[in-house]
C-alpha cells in the first residue's frame, strides 16, 4: 500500500521579509535576531548606522548595550514593527 503525506505548516519554510533598523542613540549596540535554532543574525551597530535585514515576522529583534559587566538587553522589538512596506 502506498503512503502519501501532505506537507504541514511546520515543514514549510517560513516566509522572510525585509526589515529596517537605525541606531539613534550615541552608544554602540549589538543587535540579534533568532530566526530558528539553526539561523541567527548578530551585528554591531554604531551610532547613526542603519541596517536592512531579512527575517520572519515572528522573530524578535533584540538590542543589547555594552556595560562594564557585559551586555545588557536594552529592548526587544517584534520584527513586525520594523518591516519595510513596499508599494508595488
Report how far apart, in Å, the C-alpha atoms of 16 and of each of 8, 34, 47, 55, 58 are. 18, 13, 27, 5, 10
Residue 1 forms part of a structural domain: no
Query: What is the grid cell recorded at 11?
Result: 515543514
Residue 49 forms part of a structural domain: yes
- The helix/strand/coil state of 46 is coil
Residue 51 forms part of a structural domain: yes
| Number of structural domains the chain divides into | 1
Where in the sequence is the domain holding 77, given as residue range(s)?
Answer: 17-82
Tens-digit pLDDT profile for residues 53-68 = 999 888 999 999 999 9
Residue 11 forms part of a structural domain: no
Tens-digit pLDDT profile for residues 17-33 = 999 999 999 999 999 99
Residue 43 forms part of a structural domain: yes
Residue 59 forms part of a structural domain: yes
Confidence of residue 86 (pLDDT cuts 50, 70, 90): confident
Q: What is the pTM of this model?
A: 0.75
Amino acid at each position: 500500500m502506498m503512503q502519501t503525506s501532505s506537507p504541514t505548516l511546520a515543514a514549510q519554510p517560513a516566509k522572510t521579509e525585509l526589515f529596517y533598523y537605525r541606531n539613534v542613540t550615541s552608544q554602540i549596540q549589538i543587535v540579534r535576531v533568532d530566526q530558528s535554532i539553526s539561523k541567527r543574525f548578530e551585528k554591531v551597530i554604531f551610532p547613526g548606522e542603519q541596517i536592512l535585514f531579512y527575517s520572519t515576522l515572528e522573530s524578535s529583534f533584540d538590542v543589547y548595550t555594552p556595560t562594564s559587566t557585559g551586555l545588557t538587553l536594552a529592548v526587544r522589538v517584534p520584527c513586525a514593527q520594523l518591516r519595510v512596506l513596499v508599494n508595488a
